[in-house]
């Protein structure tokens, strides 16, 4: 069984990053390179996130309006400069804490 945080890091965080990147690119008209800079990642990672938006974990996130509101808020705060690329992890952690608090992940995944 994977610990909760390991599951989040490998399964959920890429979906959160993908949703935030997509929001910034589509709603704010920035390039993949700029989104990568703002999310402290690489342009190929952003391209990969965009291609994989059909994933099951994305669907899990999209089912919860509260999470999507958090994604929207984070994207806006990154774009406004309120959140820098160096402290996006804290923002992502807020989503993880929310998911854990509300038992949105029926996982302690066994493989």
Where in the chain are the domains?
A: 4-101
Indicate whether 36 pLDDT > 90: yes
Question: How large is the average pLDDT for residues 87-92?
Answer: 86
| Residue 8: per-residue pLDDT | 81
Question: How large is the average pLDDT for residues 67-95?
Answer: 91
| Residue 79: per-residue pLDDT | 96
> CA-to-CA distance for 58 and 54, rounded, in angstroms?
7
| Residue 77: per-residue pLDDT | 95
Indicate whether 109 pLDDT > 90: no
Question: How large is the average pLDDT for residues 57-84?
Answer: 92
Indicate whether 70 pLDDT > 80: yes
Q: What is the pTM of this model?
A: 0.84
Closest C-alpha among 19, 104, 13, 23 to residue 64 = 104
On average, the pLDDT of the chain sits at 85
CA 24-97-41 angle, 5° bins: 35
Q: Within 13 Å of residue 103, how many CA atoms lie on the same side as its CB?
A: 0
Q: Are 52 and 66 in contact (CB under 8 A)?
A: no
Residues constituting the chain:
111
Question: How large is the average pLDDT for residues 38-64?
Answer: 81
């Amino acid at each position: 069984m994977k610990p909760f945080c390991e599951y989040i890091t490998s399964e959920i965080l890429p979906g959160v990053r993908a949703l935030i990147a997509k929001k910034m690119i589509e709603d704010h008209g920035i390039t993949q390179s700029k989104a990568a800079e703002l999310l402290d990642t690489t342009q190929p990672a952003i391209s990969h996130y965009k291609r994989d938006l059909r994933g099951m974990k994305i669907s899990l996130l999209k089912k919860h309006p509260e999470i999507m509101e958090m994604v929207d808020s984070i994207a806006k705060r990154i774009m406004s400069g309120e959140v820098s690329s160096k402290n996006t992890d804290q923002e992502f952690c807020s989503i993880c804490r929310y998911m854990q608090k509300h038992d949105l992940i029926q996982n302690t995944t066994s493989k």
